[in-house]
């Protein structure tokens, strides 16, 4: 599984992969952080496509075209707002990754890039979120036995180091 996971630091909107994952809000109509960057880079057609989707619940994932992005698709998922870790946040975050991977499988997507979902304005602790992301991805790939390249996109060096440490030290790989 280790060879299927790459860590990349930079702007997710620049990646040439089949699909990028957008850490969206419930409206799916754009916001701040990675969500705003993806909407801006994809162009106005994205907002119109998202309007037709009617929003999404936390943990859910929905698909649109990539429009002006190098990626063919955008998978929009709504991460949980972190309160105290006692309100099902871990399961909701796991659902974001799992549901995004299921859409990728349905669409025969062979390369997908994830941002660090919920770690920005939703305040999910970075290390905990990275553990959930990596273990969910590894479990999914092992269970489905699919040859999918997954890129974990880190906005900063701290997150990139965290991802690398967890991948290298994971006993499931």
Q: Which domains, from first to last, does the chain contain?
A: 2-169 (3.40.220.10)
- Are 57 and 45 in contact by the 8 Å Cβ rule? The answer is no
Q: For position 146, what pLDDT does the model report?
A: 75
Q: For position 92, what pLDDT does the model report?
A: 98
Active site residue 35: yes
Q: For position 23, what pLDDT does the model report?
A: 97
Q: For position 173, what pLDDT does the model report?
A: 47
Exposure string for 70-101, b = 16+ CB within 10 A, e = fewer: ebbbbbbbbbbebeeeeeebbebbbbbbbbbb
Pairing state between β 111-114 and 149-154: parallel
Q: Helices 126-144 & 89-106, crossing angle to 10 degrees?
A: 40
Question: Using CA atoms, how far apart are residues 107 and 103, in angstroms rounded to an integer?
Answer: 6
Considering only CA atoms, which of 129, 162, 152 is closest in space to residue 12?
152
pTM for the structure as a whole: 0.95
Tell whether the torsion through CA atoms of 156, 134, 101 and 129 is positive or negative.
Answer: negative
Catalytic residue (choose from 11, 18, 35, 143): 35
DSSP annotation of 71 reads S
Provide block-wise average pLDDT over 10 residues at a time, the chain (173 residues): 87 97 97 95 98 97 98 98 95 98 96 97 96 95 87 96 92 54
CA distances from 19 to 40, 123, 143 (A): 17, 25, 21
CA atoms within 13 A on the CB side of 74: 34
Question: Using CA atoms, how far apart are residues 140 and 97, in angstroms rounded to an integer?
Answer: 9
Pairing state between β 5-9 and 149-154: parallel
Question: Using CA atoms, how far apart are residues 139 and 172, in angstroms rounded to an integer?
Answer: 8
Q: Which residues pair with 7 in a beta bridge?
A: 152
């Amino acid at each position: 599984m280790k060879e299927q996971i790459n860590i990349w630091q930079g702007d997710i909107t620049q990646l040439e992969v089949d699909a990028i994952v957008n850490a969206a809000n419930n409206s799916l109509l754009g916001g701040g952080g990675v969500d705003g960057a993806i909407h801006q880079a994809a162009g106005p057609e994205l907002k119109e496509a998202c309007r037709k989707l009617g929003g999404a619940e936390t943990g859910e994932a929905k698909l649109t075209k990539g429009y002006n992005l190098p990626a063919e698709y955008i998978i929009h998922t709504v991460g949980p707002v972190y309160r105290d870790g006692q309100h099902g946040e871990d399961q909701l975050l796991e659902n974001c990754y799992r549901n995004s991977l299921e859409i990728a499988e349905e669409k025969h997507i062979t390369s997908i890039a994830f941002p660090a979902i919920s770690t920005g304005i939703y305040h999910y602790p970075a290390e905990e979120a990275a553990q959930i992301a990596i273990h969910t991805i590894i479990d999914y790939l092992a269970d489905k036995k699919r040859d999918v390249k997954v890129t974990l996109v880190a906005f900063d060096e701290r997150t990139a180091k965290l991802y690398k440490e967890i991948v290298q030290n994971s006993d499931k790989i």
